[in-house]
Structure 1
Amino acid sequence: MNFHQHVILKYSPEEGTRHGRYPAPPDRETLARSLQATGLPAAIVAHLAAQARPAVLMPTTAGDEDTIPAGASKLGGRPDLPQGMAWPLRPPYPDADRRAQYYNHKADDLLANPPSWAGAEGAERFSREYRAKAQAVATDFPLAFFGQFNLAELAQAPGFDPIFPTEGRLLVFYDYWIEPEEFTHEAAVGWRVIWDPSPVAELVRAPVPQALLAISNDEWSCVFPPAPVTTPRSVITPMPYNDKGWDAFPLDYNAEFAAYDGWFCAFGTPDEAGRDNHQFGGFPQPLQNGLQARSQLAANGLNCGGDVWSTAQAKALLKSAPAWRLVVQIGADPHARLADVGAYYVMMHEADIAARRFDRARVVYQCD
């Protein structure tokens, strides 16, 4: 077999295909068989199969808030919070002045140079939105609710990684309106990941804050319809070749790389419709490079822009970048109306996962 062909692995009929893409392998043996079909050397196949991580896929369906049990896994809707806990707010961004200046500049530019696609009326409307964002970044503001994940239920799946808690729920909130960049330390106020071990009987389904309803409409909304997780499915996830722990073979564009790239790409990406895009644990399906490296540097106070990568401090910190792990991957979802323009990755350092320091998680948005 010519290594430079993009191999499309073919599972047996009972394993199936969907929408021209192939599902993640259900077990390590299936993953190894499909890798063997690429013609990669046996030693590399064995190494990659051994490195693969278990994960749980979380398919969703359209739901009704009134019929979804308290504490159940779901995207969107209203969060189930312990009694007395308010809907999470983010404080003003530490660099609010810089952010406000950016939005005000965008507002001024729109009015001075209305784009042809918007016209004067559209430019005025978008300009008002930028002004509102300029004010919002300097004040407390509620975070959008992405979803909650029942760890006790997910832990019943063989693909659940025991590094995570097996009780309670993990809730993910994010500043969907501002969509903070992942590569600065200051952006971290723009998300909240909460591990709540409260008994289900003590949960209260929180009402959506008026401030979120006020910026939502039929065309765009940061209040998502509830999409309950149906039947979690265990899979084995292969290591992306841009993972900082990659050591299977050198990443020059050679025969091995071409074979693995074609094989890995056959699984699709989480910004595609018609596939199970939400995943708990395992290796991510990144849309760009830098998930671990940017998380490591930004979490330690470094802005990943400019020439910071060449500094001694950055080089020292990057030695620990392989320890950053995927907690949850949230992709396109027609039921929760999460658009197919990217995916969100909740990343944490292994030490913080083990110590249950979920407040140190980072939420990374990537798009093609």
Structure 2
Amino acid sequence: MADIPLPPDRETLAQSLQATGLPAAIVAHLAAQARPALLMPTTAGDEDTIAPGASKLGGRPDLPQGMAWPLRPPYPDAAKRAQYYNRKADDLLENPPSWARARGAEWFSRNYRAKAQAVATDFPLAFFGQFNLAELAQAPGFDPVFPTGGRLLVFYDYWIEPEGFTPEAAVGWRVIWDPSPVAELVRAPVPEALLAISNDRWRCVFPPAPVTTPRSVLTPMPLNDKGWDAFCLDDNAKLSAYDEWFCAFGTPDEKGRDNHQFGGFPQPLQNGLQARSQLAANGLNCGGGAVWNTPEAKVLLQAAGEWRLVVQIGADSHARFADVGAYYVMMREADIAARRFDRARVVYQCG
């Protein structure tokens, strides 16, 4: 089935759902639960023509005067990470894979060595984008749970791509709410350390891609959301009908669609956005199966539904974000209300 656009209002969403054959009461319930959101299309841009503080992906961030480009500190488990990268570097030289020529293996090996050093030192985070909340708030799809002024900036350790399921990974991103007046902003120069590792194979500096006119939509609840209560997921007929309908909207790693979203329900590529955020934020490494059955995890998971999407950043040909996977900025609703954006988690998923 070809991708269909997300509905602009509840009536359109309900009409679309009715075509699945789901009972009217379930359709009404799901339509009522849908959350408003903004899709943020982009276009190719030139840094010199993008207004200070404007919403964009990539490029250079507009920071308040005196604020340095965000650095991450060494990872708390840097020794373990360095050991992993050094082992990968050794393996590439000792047993080059069939897909890599000798020169390619040497390049990748050097890259792994550099990562082994970087995880143990302060290092600048890549700039993913900034979102002008005052402008976005003018659209009907803007959820008032978010601030209606200032900008939200997202920085991420794109070179290392920290996993979303460990507590130690949290140093690998910064989500900043900056309420400074636009007149006080300065477009920051890109750190040399990021320029040095950007090349044809991998880039940590992205071309600027300004957000054009945001589009207001309603986003349906994913089946794996912790708040799901529309029907029992053991009902295979209803499950299949809803899943087929939901999947028809596409995923945020596809070309030719609006992959970036502010607020609303996410379009996840895997399960566990809320649960992994909850466990990792509370100090549990949930990368293995055993932890999920511990008493501590079971208690924590009771509150996993408090996590919700802030921003979804997907594939983008203008900013040259890879068309594999998407990045989800997740926060507890109470932290959003308290403007504690330092407590956000950034989760990368790929299908």
Shorter-chain TM range is over 0.9
Deviations 1:1-40, CA, capped at 9 Å, x for gaps: xxxxxxx6xxxxxxxxxxx311100001100000001110
Aligned ranges 1:151-170 → 2 under 5 Å: 151-170=133-152
Is residue 2:92 matched to residue 1:110? yes
Task: Report the counterpart of residue 17 of structure 1 in structure 2.
Answer: none
Task: Report the counterpart of residue 38 of structure 2 in structure 1.
Answer: 56
Distance 2:98 2:114 in 1: 23
Task: Report the counterpart of residue 183 of structure 1 in structure 2.
Answer: 165
Deviation at 1:119, TM superposition (A): 2.0
Q: Which amino acid aligns with 1:282?
A: G
Is residue 2:205 matched to residue 1:223? yes
Distance 1:240 1:327 in 2: 15
Is residue 2:314 matched to residue 1:331? yes
Deviation at 1:116, TM superposition (A): 1.8
Aligned ranges 1:16-95 → 2 under 5 Å: 20-95=2-77
Distance 1:24 1:91 in 2: 40
Task: Mark the CA change 1:253 to 1:272 in structure 2 (over 3 Å): closer, same or farther.
Answer: farther
Decide which of 321, 328, 352 is 2:304's aligned counterpart.
Answer: 321
Decide which of 317, 342, 349 is 1:359's aligned counterpart.
Answer: 342
Distance 2:287 2:176 in 1: 28
Deviations 1:205-264, CA, capped at 9 Å, x for gaps: 000000000000133211000000000010000000000111111112511001001100
Aligned ranges 1:246-325 → 2 under 5 Å: 246-252=228-234, 254-306=236-288, 307-325=290-308
Is residue 2:192 matched to residue 1:210? yes
Distance 2:117 2:261 in 1: 35
Is residue 2:118 matched to residue 1:136? yes
Distance 2:293 2:99 in 1: 42
Deviations 1:122-174, CA, capped at 9 Å, x for gaps: 11111110000000000000000000000000000011000000000000000
What is the SS of the residue equivalent to 2:310? Answer: strand
Deviation at 1:305, TM superposition (A): 2.5
Distance 1:246 1:110 in 2: 45
What is the SS of the residue equivalent to 2:84? Answer: helix
Decide which of 177, 181, 197 is 1:199's aligned counterpart.
Answer: 181
Of 118-127 and 193-202, the range deviating more from structure 2: 118-127
Structure 1 runs, 4 residues or longer, greater than 3 Å off: none
What is the SS of the residue equivalent to 2:240? Answer: helix
Q: TM-score of the superposition, structure 1-length normalised?
A: 0.94
Task: Report the counterpart of residue 341 of structure 1 in structure 2.
Answer: 324
Deviation at 1:117, TM superposition (A): 1.5
Distance 1:126 1:179 in 2: 16
What is the SS of the residue equivalent to 1:171? Answer: strand
Structure 2 unaligned segments of length 5 or more: list them.
Answer: none
Structure 1 unaligned segments of length 5 or more: list them.
Answer: 1-7, 9-19
What is the SS of the residue equivalent to 2:278? Answer: helix
Distance 1:219 1:318 in 2: 39
Task: Report the counterpart of residue 4 of structure 1 in structure 2.
Answer: none
Distance 1:48 1:253 in 2: 16
Distance 1:149 1:252 in 2: 40
Aligned residues: 350
Provide the aligned C-alpha RMSD in A.
Answer: 0.7
Distance 2:193 2:110 in 1: 16
Identity of aligned residues (%): 87
Distance 1:317 1:324 in 2: 12
Distance 1:305 1:270 in 2: 23
Q: TM-score of the superposition, structure 2-length normalised?
A: 0.99
Decide which of 196, 217, 230 is 1:235's aligned counterpart.
Answer: 217
Deviation at 1:44, TM superposition (A): 0.5
